[in-house]
Amino acid sequence: MRRIIAVVLLAGLAAVGRAGDALQPGEYILGRGVGTLTVRPPSQGTQAFSISVVGANAHTCELGGKIQRGRSTPDDQDQQPACEVRFEKSGPSALEVKTNDADACHSYCGARAWFEGTYALPPAGCTSVDIQRSRDAFKKAYDRRDYAQAQRLLSPVLLQCKAVISPWDEDWIRNDLALTQHRLGQDAACLELLSVLAKDAQASERDPQAWKDNLALAPVESDIYAGIIAATRTNLKLCRGRSK
């Protein structure tokens, strides 16, 4: 009987150890919206994960697999040595992702993207799903001309989620909110919100290449920012009381 009890106790302790090794499930964010790491709840001693990263000039990383005891050899590998990905807890709400830097690891990425780094759980309401839901709800409110509601829906994204959204998303959200403030007669607030973009917008009006030369962006990022600056120029004119 004592032996049976001892075996049961050891099995229980092993189960506790496995539970203690589990990573907190959820969507973790790399930097300013550079990438996401999704960790699933434990199942049969492993946790499924997926990583998606967008690097410079829209180069990407995509990989996934099973985590066991903080390590994974991602799915569908043909190269040797195999890629080993390690997941180390970094504080109460972050994971450090590291690799053995094998060539197989780089095969998951384009030339200008990489997935190592610190991924952190976002603030409440700031997962990619939450942010997209807020932006979709904003658009519906704006389209029905409920500008006050539109502002209430989108303002928290800029205030609370700035650390985890990309600079491009931040700039578009600034423009959406600024235009909404203009519709509400809040032109001073509109100009203040767009002030961080005003210099490039004004420079591009005089010389379309000015900001491009200063920032030296890759082609894809350059096209994205050109659209942002064009919208900013228009919105600045509206908030200054100029239609042209």
Structural domain that includes position 149: 128-239
With beta carbons less than 8 A apart as the criterion, state whether 37 and 95 touch: yes
Instruction: Indicate if 162 and 180 belong to the same structural domain.
Output: yes
Mean pLDDT, the chain, as a whole number?
87
Angle at 163 between CA 23 and CA 152, to 5 degrees: 110
**Separation of alpha carbons 97 and 35, rounded Å:** 12
Instruction: Indicate if 136 and 228 belong to the same structural domain.
Output: yes
Q: What is the pLDDT of residue 76?
A: 64
User: Is residue 2 domain-resident?
Assistant: no
Q: What is the pLDDT of residue 15?
A: 38
* pLDDT band per the 50, 70, 90 thresholds, residue 204: confident
User: Is residue 244 domain-resident?
Assistant: no
User: Is residue 84 domain-resident?
Assistant: yes
Instruction: Indicate if 177 and 102 belong to the same structural domain.
Output: no
Q: What is the pLDDT of residue 183?
A: 97
Beta-bridge mates of residue 54:
60
Instruction: Indicate if 74 and 53 belong to the same structural domain.
Output: yes
With beta carbons less than 8 A apart as the criterion, state whether 213 and 184 touch: no
Q: What is the pLDDT of residue 2?
A: 39
Q: Of 94, 120, 146, which closes a domain? A: 120
Half-sphere exposure for 39 (CA within 13 Å, toward CB): 26
**Separation of alpha carbons 162 and 103, rounded Å:** 34
Strands of 71-72's sheet, edge to edge? 60-67, 47-54, 35-39, 26-30, 117-120, 94-99, 85-89, 71-72
Number of domains in the chain: 2
In degrees rounded to 5, what are phi and psi of residue 166? Answer: -70, 155
Q: Summarize the confidence of residues 82-94 as an average pLDDT.
A: 93
Q: Summarize the confidence of residues 226-238 as an average pLDDT.
A: 94
Q: Of 76, 99, 120, which closes a domain? A: 120
Q: Of 120, 145, 178, which closes a domain? A: 120
Instruction: Indicate if 23 and 99 belong to the same structural domain.
Output: yes
* pLDDT band per the 50, 70, 90 thresholds, residue 207: confident
Instruction: Indicate if 103 and 45 belong to the same structural domain.
Output: yes
Instruction: Indicate if 43 and 141 belong to the same structural domain.
Output: no
Q: What is the pLDDT of residue 1?
A: 41
In the three-class reduction of DSSP (H, G, I as helix; E, B as strand; rest coil), residue 118 is classed as strand
CA 134 from chain center: how many Å? 15
User: Is residue 184 domain-resident?
Assistant: yes
User: Is residue 195 domain-resident?
Assistant: yes
Q: Which of 42-46, 133-137, 182-186 has the lowest mean pLDDT?
A: 42-46
The 10s digit of each residue's pLDDT in 5-56 is 333 333 333 333 344 578 999 999 999 999 999 999 999 989 999 999 999 9
- What are the tokens at 102? 């094998």
The pTM for the full model equals 0.82
Angle at 190 between CA 234 and CA 146, to 5 degrees: 90
User: Is residue 200 domain-resident?
Assistant: yes
Instruction: Indicate if 113 and 132 belong to the same structural domain.
Output: no
